[in-house]
Chains A and B, each alone.
Chain A
Amino acid sequence: MKGEIIFGVIAVLFVASFFYGMALNPDSEFGGADGQAEDVIAEIDSEYMPWTEGTWVDSLKFEPPGGETESLLFALQAAIGALVLGYFFGYYKGKGQSN
């Protein structure tokens, strides 16, 4: 139980720090850090454009049409991972018990 309790405390502290962050940054939408990095780049070199735009690189990729599709794909990624995790932990646990 000790491990779970320590994890629980850290998780609660994390959530608390998030609420604190919300209070500190009332106007923030908590956008991605990579988007902010883009702003830093724009400050350094205001004329920089991603050189791949409109080239063959784009044709290799699927661009989600909007936030909904994007969140679907992220959720799918998490679901697949969680499924595998749960399956094998259950498999090992069941195998251990039957021995």
Chain B
Amino acid sequence: MHIFEGFLPSPWWQLWFVFSIPVIFFGMYRLNKLVSEKRELLPLLAVAGAFIFVLSSLKMPSVTGSSSHPTGTGMAAILFGPAIAAVLSLIVLLYQAIFLAHGGLTTLGANVASMGIIGPVFAYVIYKAGMKANINFYVVVFLATAFADWATYVVTATQLALAFPAEVGGVAASLKGFLLVFATTQVPLAIMEGALTALIFKYVIQVKSDALVELNVITESVLNKLKGAGQ
């Protein structure tokens, strides 16, 4: 669930654009480089983008009595890094802002920041740290993508709290209110997203494991171990 059109007053919506635009440009540069140097990986890029398309269209009910949707960005972040995930998210967010009145154009900077940048950075950092610590690949994917999903909505809550500090208690008080809405609703959805992404990665390993090695997502030895386990 993204921030609605017009729901970030000045200067907040401009500030989030200032935050997001450089990352988008860097992501486009990375994307260009990837497409020109590793053309054979284009289908995998399409898969990562399509995954965001599917997941962010699914409005799922949560135990809290409200609905929200997963993000799907963790997969792209693990495969291609957060900057490229930001560009893919921008495409989805634009589609939803223009055709679905979901999210908004003036809040696009803020929504790219939460869903496209900060969430994916969480995925990327957790993934790299987990692999370094030699934890099981699928567990790491689960943790990285579930936390990326959840972090996205914690950031959304924070963005709204900064823009709408409560009269009594200021930002901290309103953050509590927004977190109650976003962060709690998102917990079961984040777990679901993490589990689904881990399963999808199982299939990526089955059909296109060489791409993962080429993208430095996993090392040859980890791959052999995974294939040997035959999950």
Contacts and interface: CB of A to CB of B under 8 A. Distances in A.
Interface of A: 1-4, 6-7, 10-11, 14, 17-18, 20-22, 24-25, 28, 30-38, 40-41, 43-45, 48-53, 57-58, 60-64, 70, 73-75, 77-78, 80-85, 88-89, 91-93, 96
B100 A70 contact: yes
Interface residues of B, number: 72
Contacts, number: 192
A85 B231 contact: no
Interface in B139-160: 153, 156-157, 160
17 contacts: A1-B231, A3-B202, A7-B196, A7-B198, A25-B64, A25-B65, A32-B59, A33-B66, A37-B182, A41-B7, A44-B164, A61-B5, A62-B99, A64-B99, A64-B100, A73-B100, A84-B47
Contact of B61 (A30, A60, A62): A30
Interface of B: 1-7, 9-10, 43-44, 46-47, 49-59, 61-68, 92, 95-101, 104-106, 138, 153, 156-157, 160, 164-167, 174, 177-178, 181-182, 185-186, 188, 191-192, 195-196, 198-199, 202-203, 206-208, 231
